[in-house]
Amino acid sequence: PLCRACMEENETPTHVMLECTGVTEQREIYLGSPATIPEVLSNLGGMLGFWNELGWLE
């Protein structure tokens, strides 16, 4: 399915955490500017805060 934040790409974890323009501000607040998934995963607190901020943790 299309990403609910940008409606431009498929909504995958990689897209949302690294590429999505619809969540750029939230991503920078919680994750900085990660270039890879391992970088995101090394910041568990930031990653959980990011997904919680989006309201997509269900």
Tokens of 36: 């890879």
What pLDDT is stored for residue 57 in this prediction? 80
Q: Domain-by-domain residue ranges, the chain?
A: 13-54
Candidates 54, 46, 58, 49; CA nearest to 16 is: 54
Candidates 58, 40, 42, 38; CA nearest to 23 is: 40
Alpha-carbon distance of 56 to 58, in angstroms, equals 6
CB neighbours of residue 10 within 10 Å: 9
What pLDDT is stored for residue 26 in this prediction? 97
Amino acid at 52: N
For 22-57, what is each residue's pLDDT tens digit?
A: 999 999 999 999 999 999 999 999 999 999 999 988
Q: Distance between terminal CA atoms of the chain? A: 17
Residue 58: band (very low, low, confident or very high) from pLDDT cuts 50, 70, 90:
confident
Give 9 or 56, the one with higher predicted confidence.
9
